[in-house]
Every structure is written in structure tokens, then in C-alpha cells.
Amino acid sequence: MQFFTIMRIVGILVMSFSFTMLVPAFVALIYDDGGGRAFLEAFLLNFTVGAVLWWFCRKHKNELRSREGFLIVVLFWVVLGSLGAVPFILLEKPDLNFSESVFESFSGLTTTGATVITGLDTLPKAMLFYRQFLQWLGGMGIIVLAIAIIPMIGLGKLYRAEMPGPLKDQKMRPRFAETSKMLWQIYLTLTVLCAFAFWLAGMTPFDAISHSFATISIGGFSTHDASIGYFNSSAINYITVAFLLISSCNFGLHFALFDQLKDRNNKRKQSIFSRLYWQDYEFRSFVFIQLALFVTCVVVLSFYNYFDDPKTTFEQALFQSVSISTTAGFTTTDFSSWSSFLPILLVLASFIGGCAGSTGGGLKVIRVLLLYLQANREIHRFVHPNTVKPIKLGKHVFSERIEEGIWAFFAAYLFVFLVCWLAVIACGMEPFDGFNAVVASLNNLGPALGSVSSNFTQVPDAAKWVLTIAMVCGRLEVFTLLVILSPVFWKD
């Protein structure tokens, strides 16, 4: 294990991350409402930690193997989440203890959106911006950003460990740095378009930029206690829904679209735009799931006359079904009080989440689709035991290795969920509240039902640490974290 090489790379990454503290410090300078000094102190502390790690290991530049890549990813998220808590600790407003500060930092970085802070409308703009900025950085993955801007430190091995879903095995470009740059160009373009749309719909420039960060990253943090409901705007609600759906799609599809549109010799750009996504089975399944949830919400809310008019029913059903199922967690109304089984349905839908290779959480649509196909095959085998029926989508046949991996991932996900659920109950939470807290954390959802329907202030500090681990497991898709806990990982 190349420990010194690992420490050198982590040091460089931490130094790079420390410069993000200067952005909220600049925001504090603009609005002059406090917080600037705390972020400058945080910058100096984080930069010093990174510089020390780099200095003592600067001569170690050995080539990384895959397992070192996994260890760097886990170490980086743990170190980054811990150092990201420094501003929360230093600032007097909000007044958070150590556990709450770490929880808030990891919640932002993992794009979970669970918060222990109340009174957001009165907080300094620098703090509000920092929370949103953390989510935006964590959305695509700071490791991938580092691959794009610091290709000379040899981080190609990290790509497979950090990227979610099929992107880790998809060679969209021969060089990792080029792939990462393209992904971040797409990510930044969507963020700018989202912010511009919010501004045109009536948000202030500060709110528009802040909420575009949380929307494209599918994070769910807001600068107001009432979340998106603060604006009371149908236009803003529909804009949020549109960009949440875009961000929930596999970024590999966005990559292919941008790549084809950049090809000036391609004469079929319109057909590519209209057919590229629909040819993808995961995308079609995702659309079907969203439509099914939306229609179910409309029918049930209309049956119980929960809202006064059909227009409000349509809008609220669309917004909340998309927001919760994609694991964003924005709210415009208290969906936990909705009629019948809808609240539980939406929370359980977060287990599916977005498409693989998106900024959403959950199991991912492609895995759920493959689980369904495998279950359907096993039923067929019961009737026809001697039939050979491979799992395939269209013309693509999945190998037994992929099928085994899907079930292994599902089992690991369920195992982590049950362990965390028992742990938070042991920490003093009620079983129902603990269930919802773990669902919200492991699926990177944010709000759920019960005592965590709006914030996590009532969660015991010990349980916050358990939920923080669940957030990291969800963000790294379980296996990346579990693999370093395996004894075989440490054997040469």
C-alpha cells in the first residue's frame, strides 16, 4: 500500500478544497453581514493541513493501484467532510456544537440536504452560500473536479472508485482528465441556465445562484426555512422540477448529446436530440416511474380534496413527487401530512432515486430495473426449469457477473440500512423516526417523515454520527466504503 503517495495526493486535494472557503468570504465582503473572518480562518487552517500532508510526502510519486484509489476516495471524503465543518464551528451564528457541525458539513457535501439549522432567513449570506456551495461541489464529485484541474498528480485510478453507476466503466474519452472536464462543463452549463431561469422567475441573484447549486446537485438545501415554498411561485416550482429531472438523468447521456452537438459534420443533430435519450432503457424506466408517481399523487389528492383547486393539485403533486423521488428533498408544502399512503410512497420511492451516473441518490433506476428483470426470469424458470433466458435490455445481454454484482450491491445496501437503523434506535430514537432518518441519510434524501420531516435538530448527537456514516455510504454507493473494511483489501 502506497501510504505516502496517498497522503501526498490527499494533501493536494485538501489544499485545493481550502480555496473554496474564499468564495463565501468574498460573499461576506459583498453583503457585509458577518462570517468573513471565520471563512478566512477556515481557509488558513485547511490549507495548512493540506500543505503539511503534501510537504512531508512530496517525494513519493509512485503509481497508484485500484485499491489505493478506493482508499483515497474514502479518506478524502472523510477528511474533506471534517474540514468542511470548520466554518460551522467557528461561526457564532448559527451556534452549532461539534457533532452538529460535522453532520451539516457531510450533509452538504454528500448532497443529502438534511439540516440541523433553523432560522435560515436570518443567517449571514456567507453561511447560506457556503451550504449551497458544498452541495454543488459534492454533486458531481470533487474528486472528478480534481482529475480535471490537477491531471498531473495521477488520479485516474480514482475515477472508477468515485463515479456512480455505469460511468465508472464507460470510456467516454480516452483520458480521464478530458472526460472530467467535459462533465464539469455540462454541470456548469446546467447550473448557469438554472440560475438564469430562477432569476427570470423572480428570485434575487443571490437566491437564484444558491438554489441552482442545490437543484443541479439534487441537494435540497435552501436559503429559507420554507424551502422553495418561500417564493410561492408556480414558475419557480416548474423550473425546479425541470432541472431536477435533467440532473436525475445519466450524465453519460448528456455527455453523448453535447459531444454530438459539437460535431459540426453531424447532419442529424435534431434526430440525435430527440432519439438519444428515449433509446436508453434506464431513461424510459425513469420517465415511467416519475409519471406513475405523479398520476398516483394527483388521483389520491383529488379523491380526498386535499387542495382547493385542480391547478394547485397538479402543481404540488408534480413538484413533491419529483423532488422526493429524485432525492432532492425540496418542499413547497408539508407532504408528510398528505392523505392516505402518499407520504410513505414518496419516501420509499427515494430508494429508487435517479439514474445511474446522475447526481441523485438511492439504488439507481438501472439497478432496480435489472432486479426486476432477474426476478421475472426466476419466475419464468419456475415454470420452465430448463429454459436458458439471459438478462438483456434490447440487444445488450448482461453477463452473470453483472447480475451477481447487482444482487450483492442490493444486499449490501440493505445490510447497511438495517445496521444503521438499529444503531440510531440504540442511540435513543424512536423506531419510526429512526427508520425515516436512515432512509433520508442513506438515500441522500434529506427530509422524510416523523420528527425529521423538516430538520434533524431533535436527533441525538450519537445518532447524528451514525447518520453521517450512512450519508457517506449512500454517496459512495456503499461498496467503495465497505471494500476498505474487508480484510482482503489490506492483504498484499
pLDDT for the residue numbered 464: 96
Q: Are 486 and 74 in contact (CB under 8 A)?
A: no
Cα(483)–Cα(114) distance, rounded to whole angstroms? 26
3-state secondary structure 357-418: CCCCCCCCHHHHHHHHHHHHHHHHHHHCCCCCCCCEECCEECCHHHHHHHHHHHHHHHHHHH
SS3 state at 264: coil
370 is in an annotated binding site: no
Instruction: Report the alpha-carbon distance of residue 205 to residue 483 in Å, rounded.
Output: 43
Residue type (1 letter), 112? T
Q: Are 101 and 84 in contact (CB under 8 A)?
A: no
- Among 111, 118, 171, 175, smallest CA distance to 141 is for 111
359 labelled ligand-binding: no
Peptide bond preceding 94 in cis form (omega within 30 of 0): yes
pLDDT of residue 99: 94
Reference 364, options 400, 328, 410; nearest CA is: 410
- The candidate with the shortest Cα–Cα distance to 111, out of 88, 131, 91, 87, is 131
Any binding-site annotation on 220?
Answer: no
- Residue 25: CB atoms within 10 A of its CB come to 21
Average pLDDT along the chain, 492 residues, taken 10 residues at a time:
82 90 93 88 93 86 73 84 92 89 94 92 93 90 52 46 48 60 87 96 95 94 93 95 93 80 59 70 92 95 91 94 94 88 94 87 89 84 76 75 83 93 96 95 91 91 95 84 77 68
Q: Is 445 annotated as a binding residue?
A: yes
CA 4 from centre of chain: 30
What is the Cα 350 distance to its own chain's centre?
12
Length of the chain: 492
Q: What is the pLDDT of residue 172?
A: 47
What is the domain partition of the chain in residue ranges? 1-162, 173-398
Q: What is the pLDDT of residue 185?
A: 87
In the numeric block, the cell 479518506 is attached to: 75
Rounded Cα gap, residues 207 and 20, in angstroms = 19
At 166 the pLDDT is 44
Q: 62 labelled as ligand-binding?
A: no
CB contact at 8 A, 143 and 155: yes
- Please give the backbone phi and psi of residue 60, each rounded to the nearest 5 degrees, phi first: -95, 110
11 is in an annotated binding site: no
Is 349 among the annotated ligand-binding positions?
no
Does residue 490 contact residue 1 with C-beta atoms inside 8 Å? Answer: yes
DSSP code for 68: H
**Sign of the alpha-carbon dihedral angle for 82, 87, 92, 94:** negative
Q: What are phi and psi of 392, to 5 degrees?
A: -150, 150
**Closest listed residue to residue 361, CA positions, set 321, 333, 324:** 324
Is 333 annotated among the ligand-binding residues?
A: no
CA 187 to chain centroid:
13
